[in-house]
Amino acid sequence: MSSNLGGRFIVIMLGIFIALVIIVGAGFVWAIFFGHSLFDGFWTLFALVVAEPVGILFLWARNVLGLRTPQGRKMTFTSQGDINDYMKRLIESGSAVDIVSGRLSWVRGDQEVENAIVTHSSNAAVTIFLPANNDISKRLTDRGVRITITPLLTGGPKARFTLVNKDRPGSGLLAVGFGNLPSFEISEFPEPQYPQIVALARDYIAALSA
């Protein structure tokens, strides 16, 4: 939950708390001064009045002290097959898919993942960015996949990432790969929780496309 949303949630909770206090107070007045019995559910409301300030204090502390749990996820893969299974699902999930890679080595020898790229490129805007052509990129080009060769990716280790749904504001998903097997890591950054990071990826893709 972002800090703005967290603040709004706390304000709403405070409003509910005040309303409950008024209802419970009215119930006490009704019973004490007018001699009527307490209405059904009174003690449930009373318990909420007692418990809600504790919950609000907890939410406030978590929001202010930065104890919120990140909404992205970090995954560790121990085999190339597991990485490729993830990549197939990721590629097939987007209406626009931009893949920044060094050599496309993860595609080599896996006909299923190559076919997934080719098939999805016929229904979506799939672009692969590489520093130079190789046998894999040439084969994908022959099968109709858009390959962009850019010198910006040459000259040493570069980030390997995939940006999904750059064309749908608020729905972007950035997946960044790092490391080597048997401990290859992929971190996901959903746009609603990481808008600045996804915006940077969009800008980088635009620079590679220029």
How far is CA 83 from each of CA 21, 95, 166, 198, rounded to the nearest angstrom?
54, 21, 22, 22
Evaluate if residue 71 carries a pLDDT over 60: no
- Does the predicted TM-score (pTM) go above 0.75? no
Evaluate if residue 78 carries a pLDDT over 50: yes
How far is CA 155 from each of CA 82, 129, 172, rounded to the nearest angstrom?
29, 15, 28
Evaluate if residue 199 carries a pLDDT over 90: yes
Fold of the CATH domain 73-209: Endonuclease; Chain A (3.30.870)
DSSP lists the bridge partners of residue 96 as 125
Q: What is the pLDDT of residues 146-195, one digit of tens each?
A: 999 988 888 765 668 999 999 888 899 999 998 888 888 999 999 998 99
| Contacts for 16 with CB less than 8 Å, ≥ 6 apart | 52
Mean pLDDT of the chain: 79
Q: What is the pLDDT of residues 4-20, one digit of tens each?
A: 444 565 566 566 656 65
Q: What is the pLDDT of residue 33?
A: 62
Evaluate if residue 26 carries a pLDDT over 50: yes
Domain boundaries, the chain: 3-64, 73-209
Q: What is the pLDDT of residue 187?
A: 92
Q: What is the pLDDT of residues 106-131, one digit of tens each?
A: 898 899 999 999 999 999 999 999 99
